Amino acid sequence: MKKTKNNLENEAFYYDPTISCDDDPRVSIGLLNFECEYCQALKFKDEPNGICCGN
């Protein structure tokens, strides 16, 4: 497979800790700004309630 600038497949195998991914939109997983109704833990948008606390 030809490696292109926009292709991140298998990039974890070539991880370079000196390269920051913080501002790369290709690695965004969303904001951690939803609250579990049971334990008030912060979670991602589509994460189910209770998975963090076992309720």
Q: What is the DSSP string of the chain?
A: ----TT--TTGGGG--TTS--TT-GGG------EE-TTT--EE-TTPPTTTTTT-
Q: Is the pLDDT of residue 1 over 70?
A: no
Q: Is the pLDDT of residue 2 over 60?
A: no
Token pair recorded at residue 45: 């948008």
Q: Is the pLDDT of residue 36 over 80?
A: yes
Residue that wins the pLDDT comparison between 4 and 51: 51
pTM comes to 0.47
